Structure 1
Amino acid sequence: MKNRKLLILSLITLAVILAASITAKLHAPQSTIAKQTLFPGLANQINDIIEISIKGDGRTVQLKKQGEIWVLESADNYPALFNKVRAMVINLAGLKIEEEKTGDPALYARLGVEDPESKDASSLLITLKTSGNEEAASIIAGKPRQSAGSRPGLYVRLPDQTRALLAEGMLDVSGNPADWFERNLFDIPSDFIKNVTIQYAEGNVFEIYKEQKEQIDFQPRGISGENSAVKIIMTRISRSMEEMRADGVHALDNFSFPEESITTTATTFDGLIVTAKTARIDNKAYARFTFAVDPSATREDSVTDEKESEDTADAFAGLTTDFKPDPVQEAHYLTETLSSWVYQIPDFKYEALTSNPGNLKKPTEISE
């Protein structure tokens, strides 16, 4: 009898342990449960990917690998941000299915996985191809998970499936071509500027200048500089070359400037000459930049060590402010990097590059 009671007690204990074990597994954190990789073979194909298409918001970004670099095929093969492209492919290969979501198309928009070509869609269709034009991955990327306490995740849907998924992982992707290239072109603070001349389409010219770098205010040539409106215009012009950024890009060979274009030339105290040819086309502002050196200018703090070429690139990308490269190397680097392209620039930069005090009053009528 005693042995029978012990047996029953042992069985009850075993049942409790099994039940607790099952309950623990059911409530275990999802990190302890194996998740299926969304694209199992992609991790082994990362170096084989040569084409990427991103469609959404009425635009298509076409990225293509040329040798060891990536270019924006949809922007005349302008160099793309290599690290950003590679990071996107790696992160895409690392996406894991966390759970299934809705299969109702009417609810897709809530998760951002609707057809990218549908009206007001926020989704992006990403397609990766290998050298043999083989599709390595295709996915509709939606909204990120909105839970602050959870691991990074986003909603996705495979184009040939109706069921949306919650995927664990991150995906930094954009349908804006400008997000895939280096938008910072150069940065020449107004303190460095010696003079700026603007030649307008009508043929007239406006110039501002400083005799010495230590001077605070610029002076206009040929008109009074005491007029408050003219002072505002001069300040705007003097800062026109600061933090120059691009919103779009076209190859120079594929772009035609209209006859009414405006040319702005800025010269620094150490001899760098920057010329911007600008125009507004279809309500968008464009500029082509060329660079030269004034041989008569001298610099007391000219740097000529072996690190100069490398530091020049950082300085004019706005990555450092404590280095002043030699103007000859500045001009060479900027010419090689920028002069074969026409950039769409922000409207406020176009206004600064083309400001005209003559639109306020005729020069002879501007009074103190």
Structure 2
Amino acid sequence: MRARQLLPWGLAVLALAGLAWWALDRQAPSDEAVSGEALPGFAARIDKLERIEVRGAGDVALVTLQREGGRWQVLERAGWPANEREISRALFRLGEAKRVEAKTDNPALHARLGVEDIAKPDAKGAELRFAGGGEPMALVVGSNHPVLGGSYARVAGDPQAWLLDEDLAPARDPAAWLDRRLVDLPLARIERVRLSPASGRGFLLVRRDEGFAPEGTTQTSDAATATAGVVEQLALDDFAADDGTPAAAQTAVFESVDGVKLTVASWQDERGLWARLSVALDADTALAWFAKADETADPPQQRLAALEAQVAQWREAFEGRRFLLPPHKAANLVKSRDDYLGSP
């Protein structure tokens, strides 16, 4: 069929789509006040919230955030710290969100907007539930407007649906709410990396001026330096309880000038590269290194105490857990010695 013949059909489809949305909009009561908060009274309670839940179809809890000691935790991930910045942004966005236009108050039509009862097994939206600072509050968040943007939503228990001026759709994966910071051992502190492949001989990457090279060579390589930098601002994509899976990819031990030895034992599955981390500290090496500092630095014993506290914090975070590493970091933990020798 020629383009000129297809054009009327396309226009007809667009017209019907527009008519459907118009008809849905017409279900809204004409005398409803449109202005107001998306979730009335929410903004005033943000600082007093103690619990946030994201619930999906079948009224299943997808994400549970609990505030303990002023810090948010992700309960589905064994209380791992949550991303405080992202939570603050999400709460601020909801507190600022306004109703733009009243929509249907007919429950039979809620599914078209994705704001049907979340208890239904095929519900498309998500319900945000909040506890703390007063009576529990809940908002069902549905689809976004196909042209204007902004979410369709309704206060749980109220049949009146609204178009809001913000996209409030929450992440449904607990991993998306995690504080992804895992460990930070700066490249400038790394002295050598001991690599033990699952098969074959182990080898060393050693510092050469500003870069790293396989032991026995003098030419630094970008690949070797990238591997030495894996534990600098190392983040996690997810984590789980350590199930004892053997490290079948490679084990890397990062040794720092101040006595830290950070071991990363890794293996691959369908989700990516997982790693088991452990850390040790040689106090004598640390003190010897701190003694070389100029007189403006803190006393060696004070610096050692700070480093011991950091190592203890890492140990607590690593204990009994395995971590899914970001692909760009993981790629540097599965290289062979030939990969380093063959790079410039």
TM-score, scaled relative to structure 1: 0.62
SS in 2 for 1:218: strand
Supply the distance in 2 between the matched residues of 1:48 and 1:162 (Cα, whole angstroms). Answer: 25
SS in 1 for 2:225: helix
SS in 2 for 1:156: strand
Task: Find the counterpart in structure 2 of residue 278 from structure 1.
Answer: 266
- Check if 1:199 corresponds to 2:179: no
Map Cα deviations across residues 55-88 of structure 1 (whole Å, 9 max, x no partner). Answer: 48x9922223445433211112212234644664
Task: Find the counterpart in structure 2 of residue 25 from structure 1.
Answer: none
- Check if 1:244 corresponds to 2:234: yes
Write the mapping of 1:1-368 to structure 2, written as runs, cut at 5 A.
35-40=35-40, 42=42, 47=48, 49-55=50-56, 60-66=62-68, 68-82=70-84, 84-85=86-87, 88-89=90-91, 92=94, 95-101=97-103, 104=109, 107-108=112-113, 123-129=125-131, 136-143=137-144, 154-158=151-155, 164-168=161-165, 171=168, 173-202=170-199, 204-210=201-207, 215-221=209-215, 224=217, 231-252=221-242, 255-258=243-246, 260=248, 262-294=250-282, 295-297=284-286, 298-299=289-290, 300-301=292-293, 303-304=297-298, 327-339=307-319, 341-357=321-337
Distance 1:137 1:35, change over 3 A: same
Task: Find the counterpart in structure 1 of residue 15 from structure 2.
Answer: none
SS in 2 for 1:335: helix
Deviation, structure 1 residue 160:
6.0
Contact in 2 for aligned 1:130/1:136 (Cα 8 Å): no
Deviation, structure 1 residue 240:
1.7
Supply the distance in 2 between the matched residues of 1:199 and 1:274 (Cα, whole angstroms). Answer: 14
Distance 1:106 1:173, change over 3 A: closer
Deviation, structure 1 residue 209:
0.8
Supply the distance in 1 between the matched residues of 2:79 and 2:240 (Cα, whole angstroms). Answer: 9
Identity %: 21
Supply the distance in 1 between the matched residues of 2:145 and 2:255 (Cα, whole angstroms). Answer: 47
Distance 1:141 1:225, change over 3 A: farther
Deviation, structure 1 residue 349:
1.4
Deviation, structure 1 residue 247:
0.8
Supply the distance in 2 between the matched residues of 1:89 and 1:217 (Cα, whole angstroms). Answer: 44
Unaligned runs of 5+ in 1: 1-32, 313-324
Supply the distance in 2 between the matched residues of 1:144 and 1:338 (Cα, whole angstroms). Answer: 43
Distance 1:330 1:106, change over 3 A: closer
Distance 1:329 1:146, change over 3 A: farther
Supply the distance in 1 between the matched residues of 2:170 and 2:35 (Cα, whole angstroms). Answer: 23
Contact in 2 for aligned 1:263/1:275 (Cα 8 Å): yes
Deviation, structure 1 residue 266:
0.7
Supply the distance in 1 between the matched residues of 2:279 and 2:244 (Cα, whole angstroms). Answer: 20
SS in 1 for 2:185: coil
TM-score, scaled relative to structure 2: 0.66
Contact in 1 for aligned 2:39/2:155 (Cα 8 Å): no
Deviation, structure 1 residue 195:
0.3
Contact in 2 for aligned 1:51/1:130 (Cα 8 Å): no
Distance 1:91 1:231, change over 3 A: closer
Map Cα deviations across residues 71-123 of structure 1 (whole Å, 9 max, x no partner). Answer: 21111221223464466456546654332135756853xxx75888769x6x5
Distance 1:172 1:81, change over 3 A: farther
SS in 1 for 2:164: strand
Deviation, structure 1 residue 146:
6.8
Map Cα deviations across residues 32-54 of structure 1 (whole Å, 9 max, x no partner). Answer: x8834454465676536435124
Contact in 1 for aligned 2:252/2:333 (Cα 8 Å): yes
Map Cα deviations across residues 140-171 of structure 1 (whole Å, 9 max, x no partner). Answer: 24438976xxxx95432456667541235674
Supply the distance in 1 between the matched residues of 2:86 and 2:146 (Cα, whole angstroms). Answer: 21
Q: 1:53 is aligned with what amino acid? A: V
Contact in 1 for aligned 2:34/2:100 (Cα 8 Å): no
Supply the distance in 2 between the matched residues of 1:145 and 1:187 (Cα, whole angstroms). Answer: 42
SS in 1 for 2:335: coil
Deviation, structure 1 residue 174:
2.3
Q: 2:226 is aligned with what amino acid? A: R
Deviation, structure 1 residue 356:
1.4
Q: Which moved more, 1:166-175 or 1:260-269?
A: 166-175
Contact in 2 for aligned 1:145/1:154 (Cα 8 Å): no
Map Cα deviations across residues 187-242 of structure 1 (whole Å, 9 max, x no partner). Answer: 334333210011222363121112x6xx13423135x566xxx9454233222223
Unaligned runs of 5+ in 2: 1-32
Aligned residue pair count:
295
Distance 1:155 1:352, change over 3 A: same
- Structure with max Cα Rg: 1
Q: 1:128 is aligned with what amino acid? A: F
Contact in 1 for aligned 2:64/2:75 (Cα 8 Å): yes
C-alpha RMSD of matched pairs (Å): 4.4
Supply the distance in 2 between the matched residues of 1:153 and 1:233 (Cα, whole angstroms). Answer: 45
